[in-house]
Amino acid sequence: MTGAMDGHAEDSGRVYQASGDQHISEHHHHYGEEAAARGGPDSVRRPAVGRPPVVLRDRYEVLERLRAGRSGELYVLYGMGGCGKTAVAYTFFQLATNECGRVGLWVSASDRSSLRAGMLAVAADRGAENGELLAARNGLRPAADLVWQYLDRSTDPWLLVLDNADEPEIFRDGSWLRTSPRGTVVVTTRRSATRWWPGAELQHIDVLPREDAARVLRDLAPHSGTHDEANQIAERLGRLPLALTLAGGFLSQQVLDPWTMETYRRRLEEDEGFDLIDQGADALSLEDPRHLVRLTWQLTLDSFESRGLPEAAALLRLLSRFAPEPLPLSLLNREEVSSALPRARCEIALRALLDQSLTELVDVGVRCTQSHGVLLNSVAAATPPEMVPGLDGTAVRLLEATVPTVVDAGPYDPMNRLLVPHTLVLLRRGSDLPTVTTALVVAVRLCTALHRTGDYLSAWETAQTAADLGERRLGKDHRLVLAARSRAGRALFRLGRYNEAELLLSRIREAQERLFGADDPDTLDTCHGLQLVLGNLGRREEAVSLLRSTVAGRQRALGSAHPLTLRSRSSLLVLLSAPEIRAEEDGALLALPSECIQHLGLDHTVTLGACHNHAWALFGLGRFDEAEQEIRLVVEAYQRRFGPDYPNLLSAQQLLSRILAARGDVNAGIEIMREVTAKRERSLGVDHPFTVASRQLLGAFRSGQ
C-alpha cells in the first residue's frame, strides 16, 4: 500500500491529519446498557463513515506502521473525539482492500448492541448459517465464539475495523476483542489506558498542528480569508478536525451575504456562548470537542435563520431529542412532525442539514439519518428550556405513530430494533411525565413486536431496561412499569429460563391483582403468560386452574369474541386431557377454530394458533386423519407468513411428525424431527427445553423402529 504523504512524525511518534475537502465523521455514543438491540448493519464491507476524507495529510507514519504489520496484530488508534481516528482507519481500510487484496470488515463498536449486531454480520459474511446466527442473537450460544470461529476459518485474509470503541468494557463480555492469524484488527477509541487493550500496539492520534489546521479551512473556503486569519480561527477552534470541517463548510456555503474569516473570527470572539468552554468543563482541556462543536453548529444555525430557513434549526433540535443512532427517515415523514416544523418543509430542512454535514444518510436495511453524538448532545444542551417539552412531545408522538397499537406476529422487522434506542433515550431523559409515560407505552409495544417476531432476547433486554427506567420516573407500581416487567417475564419463558419467568410473572401478577383487580386486562395478560410457564414446568393442575380463571376473566372483561379471550380458550386444547376435552362444554371447545374464523377470519394469527392447538387435541383424541389434515394446513400457513425457522412453525412440524409416527409412518416422522431438532439447536441452543424435547422425541422414534 502506497500513497503520497507530505508529513512525518517525530519524537513521541504523534502524527497529524488535515485534508482538502475534508469530511470527518466520528460517532460517539454516551449512554449505558439501557440501549437495546438495534438492527444489524446493512453491510460490513463498506466503512460506515458517511463522506470519506478526500485528502489525508500527516498520517504517513501511522499508515506505514499499519501497512508493515503482520496478520495476527491488534492496533488501537486513540485520541479525543473528532481528531480523525476514523479517517485514518478508513484510509488504511481502502489501502488494504484495494491494494493488498484483503477482505475489509467494518463494525461500529460504539455500544454493546452495535458491536454485537455488527460482529454477527461479520460472521454471516464469513459463512455462518442463519440458524447459528439466530441462536447467537437470542443468547443461546456464545456469539463471540461463533464470530471468531468463522474469522479463524476464513480462506481470505481480512482487516477488521472496530470503530468508535469508546466503551472498551463491552469487549470483555464474551471476549469480543481477539486476534487471529488470518487477519488484522484495528480499533478506534477515546480510551487510551493500556489495561483496556492487552497485547495491542497503541497509536495516539492528536489534534492538527496549527499550519495544517489552517490548511483545512483554506481548502474548504479558499476565498474567505488569508492564511493568517485561518490560523487564528484554527486556534480558536482548538485545531479539532470536526470543528474545522463544519466551520469551513459554513464559510463556503454563504451565498447572499458571504462571511470572511475575519467576520467569523470576530463572531467567535464576541459570541457569549463561547464562554461555555470554561463552564462545566473543569476537568477537560480547552480543546474539548463538545464545546467547540457547539460553537460551530450554533453559527450554522444562525445562518439558517438569517437565510430564511429556520426549519433546519428546528429539525436539528428535534433530532437532538433522539439517540445518536440511525433514525428511520419514514419517522420524520409523518404529520406529527408538524408540531416542531411544517411537514412540507421537512425535506428542505433535512437537505440543509446534510449540506452542512450536521447529519448524514445511512442505510442499515432501512433508510435512516444519523447525527454525531457530540453534536446532538451539544444541541440538546443549548436548546432553550421552554422549547424542550414541546420537542420531547413531538419526538415521542412520532415514535408512537410509527409503532402499531396492536402488534401482530410476523417475520423479523429491522424497524423494531431501530426504534428501541430512541424510545429508551426519551424514557430516560424525557422532560415531563407525559413524555415518559408515552415513551413507556411505546417501549411495551416494541417489546411485544420483538417477541412476536421471534427476537426474544431483544424483547427481554428492552422490556427489562424500559421497566427499570420507568420505575425511576413513575414508581414501581405504575401500570406501565408492571406491564413492561410482565413482557420481560414472557420473553424469559421463550428463552427457556422457566424458573426466572415463573418468579417474575408470579410477583407481577400479585401486584397487578392487588392494584388493579383480578379481571383487569393487564393482570389477565400476565396470568396467560404464567400458565404457559407452569405448564412447561410440569405443574399442569396449577396451569389448568389459572388458565380457566384467565378465560373466565377475559370473557367478563373483554367479551367472548375478543382475540385475547379466544387465544386463552385455545390454550385449553393443549393443557386438557382427552377426557377433559370431551367433557368441556359438551364439545364446544372442539368447535373453537370455527368460532375464530367467524369472529377473526381465516388468516388471523389467533385463528392459526387455535387450529394448531385443535390439531393437538385431535391427536390426543386419536383422530389422526383429521389431525394430520389440519396441521398440514397450519404448517403451510406458518411457512408462508413467517418463514422456515419461525418457532411456531417448528412446533407445528413437530406435531406433524408425532401424527405420522402414530399412523405408522415412523420414517417420515424421523425425517421431520431430524430437521426440527437441527433448527432448534441452531436457533435456541442445544440445552433449551424445546430443543431437549425435540431430541428426546427423535430418539424415541428411532428406538421404536
Q: How does pLDDT run across 392-406, given as a tens digit for each residue?
A: 999 999 999 999 888
Indicate if the pLDDT at residue 581 is higher than 70. yes
In three-state secondary structure terms, 427 is: helix
Quickly list DSSP for 127-141: T--HHHHHHHHTTSS
Which CATH superfamily includes the segment(s) 60-204? P-loop containing nucleotide triphosphate hydrolases (3.40.50.300)
Q: Say yes or no to pLDDT of 454 above 70.
A: yes
Q: Over 70: is that where the pLDDT of 51 sits?
A: no
Tell me the backbone φ, ψ of residue 158, rounded to 5 degrees.
-140, 160
Look at the alpha carbons of 440, 511, 502, 673 in this order and tell me if their dihedral is positive or negative.
negative
Q: Is the pLDDT of residue 281 over 90?
A: no
Domain ranges of the chain: 60-204
Reported confidence tier of residue 103, pLDDT bands at 50, 70, 90: very high
- Asked if 96 and 253 touch (Cβ cutoff 8 Å), the reply is no
Whether residue 302 has pLDDT greater than 80: no
Q: What is the pLDDT of residue 233?
A: 79
Residue 432: what pLDDT? 92
Alpha carbon distances (Å) from 666 to 460, 657, 673: 38, 8, 10
Q: So what's the pLDDT on residue 286? A: 38
Residues 6+ apart with CB under 8 A from 65: 75, 201, 203
pTM to 2 decimal places? 0.66
Q: CA 250, CA 265: separation in Å to the nearest integer?
A: 13
pLDDT band at 31 (very low <50, low <70, confident <90, very high): very low
Mean pLDDT value across residues 294-318: 75
- b/e map of 280-301 (b: 16 or more CB within 10 Å)? eeeeeeebbbbbbbbbbbbbbb
Quick one: which of 333, 409, 400, 404 has its CA closest to 366? 333
% of the chain exceeding 70 in pLDDT? 84
pLDDT tens digit sequence for 320-369: 999 988 999 999 999 999 999 999 999 999 988 876 657 778 888 899 99
User: Which parts of 199-264 are beta strand (E)?
Assistant: 201-204
Q: What are the pLDDT digits (tens) for 457-486?
A: 999 999 999 999 999 999 999 999 999 999
d(CA 263, CA 260): 5
3-state secondary structure of 183: strand
pLDDT at 374: 57
Q: What is the mean pLDDT of the chain?
A: 84
How big is the CA angle at 225 (ends 222 and 230), to the nearest 5 degrees?
90
Secondary structure tally for the chain: helices H, strands E: 30, 8
355 grid coordinates: 449540506
- Whether 530 and 571 have beta carbons less than 8 Å apart is answered as no
Highest mean pLDDT among 30-39, 110-119, 403-412: 110-119
Confidence band (pLDDT; 50, 70, 90) for 114? confident
